[in-house]
Amino acid sequence: MLIGEFIQKHQTTKDTVRFYVQEGLLTPVRRGRNYWYSAADESDFDQIKTLQQMGFSISAIKQIREQHEKHCGTTEQWQFNLHLIDDELAEISVQEKQLADRRAGLTDLKEQLLALLDSASEGGETTI
């Protein structure tokens, strides 16, 4: 299929598809002036989007693909992927800690403001 049909079918943009081609993540066949996207390209695109939704960067996705091409179904590939997953889980833990700290700060500020509003409604004006 041509790029127009591909982007419509996958609800994406030409820029996104061209970027993936430039990065070597999609490898359409060139036919004259046009690229032809195969079922394999569609599968690769779906895998890229799935990995991105899991938080993997384009660089990591390229590494995953390289490992798949060189060491598919081997313990080396599985160990490499496990390492990448551990890195992503560690990053999620950092983000969770940051969100918990943010929640605690906002909750504390909210409680202070509620106390001030309660105090003001009883007639005692106070400022933070």
pLDDT grade, residue 8 (50/70/90)?
very high
Residue 124 confidence class, pLDDT cut points 50, 70, 90: low
Q: Count CB-CB contacts under 10 A for residue 35.
A: 19
Q: How far apart are CA 15 and CA 26, in angstroms?
A: 13
Nearest to 42 by CA among 72, 17, 64: 17
**Do 62 and 84 fall into the same domain?**
yes
Same domain as 39, residue 11: yes
**Number of independent structural domains in the chain:** 2
Average pLDDT, the chain: 93
- Say what the pLDDT of residue 95 is: 96
Identify the band that residue 125 occupies on the pLDDT scale cut at 50, 70 and 90. Answer: low
Contact 115, 94 (CB under 8 A): no
End-to-end CA distance of the chain: 63
What digits encode the pLDDT tens for the residues 51-65? Answer: 999 999 999 999 999
Question: 68 and 26, same structural domain?
Answer: no
Look at residue 6 in the predicted model and tell me its pLDDT: 96
Q: pLDDT band for position 123 (50/70/90)? A: confident
Measured CA to CA, the distance from residue 127 to residue 102 in angstroms comes to: 23
Statement to judge: residues 84 and 46 lie in one domain: no
On the question of pLDDT at 126 being above 90, the answer is: no
Residue type, position 92, single letter: I
Instruction: Render pLDDT for 48-106 as a digit per residue (tens, 0 to 9).
Output: 999 999 999 999 999 999 999 899 999 999 999 999 999 999 999 999 999 999 999 99
CA 67 vs CA 27, 79, 102: distances in Å = 17, 10, 38
Q: Do both 26 and 73 map to the same domain? A: no
Which domain does 11 fall in, by range?
1-54
